[in-house]
Amino acid sequence: MGIRDLLLDVATKFDTTLTTTSGNPGQGVLKAAGERLVDALPYGMKAKGHGGQGGAAATPWIQVFEPTAGGSGTDGLYLAYIFAADLRSVALTLQQGVTVFSDQLQTRGRGLRTYLEIRAQSLLAELPSDLVANWTDQPRFKHRSWRPQAYEASSVVARCYEIDHLPSEGDLCADLGNMATILKAALAVEPQIEVVSEPDGPVVEYTTTAHATYEGLEGFRPKSSDDYFVQIAAREQRKKRVHEGLVRRFGPYILERGFTPITEQVHPRDLVLQAGDAEWLVEAKAVKKGNATQAVREAVGQLLEYRYFWYLQKGQPKPHLLGLFSESIGAYASYLEAHGIGAIWRTSDGWAGSASAIEWGMADAHEAAR
């Protein structure tokens, strides 16, 4: 038995009208979830079923977590299979523990849900887009009590399944493995995010941390990558500084490849790389919603403009040109190559690049197809 059989058993045996001690067979299924899933879980992960305390839960759920990373179910990040109240669907979701935020905010109402939604959006924005591209379902748990509604708001990424049309065991295991990778990535960025309550509504801030120092990065001081929210006409409009976060992540990586990244005293240029006597002029661009067109157009224009005014007109040696992107730019990589511009972009597990970037030693050849 595995994930599929367990989900079916919960859906058919759990009774939301019974107490946890009055012969509810679904409670026994949930209590055995850890043992039943042991062979289906990603390495090092554990599972625990939750059917309520005293009265049966309106939306029973199964927690899947990394023991060393916390995620108790009341706080921290964890994965969960959460059933809708009618038990006809279940969502595999990356959850934020809602209880700790409810206690902090002293509310279980709309204020809590708004807080969780903004925090979930901020976490999602920090995850590689290709990693979460197919995890955009919005869970609906079909119950008006505060906890199921909080679960909906706190979901960072999710995939929803209809009980009558559950995927195969192999597909469910693959989905859980992919979600475990997303959880790992989220755990890495989650400590930086803080949502504070302001008179006009919750605002996302990033915790202040000491600047990481790397030998060779003396001239590399990228700007803050903080996301911020502003209130306009009673709606949160999200303004992102993905650009600066992209430069910040790229610096230590490219240093390890033998290039010296410089951001100080190069404005308005984003970044300059140096290796030996050669120099690379770098323009960083965020690819929005998988649409590379605008990002590439802007990168080309700015690279050519900066090369002309900052190098050619000043009699400086012509630099190599490099576009730095937040995700894959697809066919535009060869387009840039045709114009003498290399490209490099983030992937779910590192960086990939065009032919010139590979030739320069900025990316490995096997990464090019990603």
pLDDT by residue (tens digit) across 68-101?
766 555 668 999 999 999 999 999 999 998 988 8
For position 234, what pLDDT does the model report? 31
- Output the pTM of the full model: 0.56
- Rounded to the nearest integer, the mean pLDDT of the chain is 84
Instruction: Concatenate the DSSP letters of all residues of 239-262 into one string.
Output: E--HHHHHHHHHHHHHHHTT-EEE
Structure tokens at 262: 């410089």
Mean pLDDT of all residues in 320-330: 93
CA dist., res. 197 & res. 204, Å (int): 9
Mean pLDDT of all residues in 190-208: 56
Cα-atom radius of gyration of the chain, to the nearest Å?
Answer: 24
Q: What is the pLDDT of residues 302-311, one digit of tens each?
A: 999 999 988 9
For position 21, what pLDDT does the model report? 66
Reply yes or no on domain 3-191 having CATH 3.30.920.90: yes
Q: What is the pLDDT of residues 17-58, one digit of tens each?
A: 877 766 678 899 999 999 999 999 998 899 999 998 778 899
For position 218, what pLDDT does the model report? 59
CA dist., res. 179 & res. 156, Å (int): 11
Q: Which long-range contacts (CB under 8 A, 24 or more apart) does 132-139 make?
A: 132/157, 132/182, 133/290, 134/159, 135/94, 135/159, 135/178, 135/179, 135/182, 137/91, 139/82, 139/91, 139/93
For position 72, what pLDDT does the model report? 57
| CATH fold label, 240-367 | Trna Endonuclease; Chain: A, domain 1 (3.40.1350)
**What residue ranges do the domains of the chain occupy?**
3-191, 240-367
Instruction: Say if residue 323 is exposed, middle or buried (CB neighbours under 10 Å; 0-12, 13-18, 19+).
Output: buried
Give the confidence band of 129 by pLDDT, cuts at 50, 70, 90. confident
Around Cβ 253, how many Cβ atoms within 10 Å? 16
Structure tokens at 241: 């500084």
Mean pLDDT of all residues in 127-132: 86
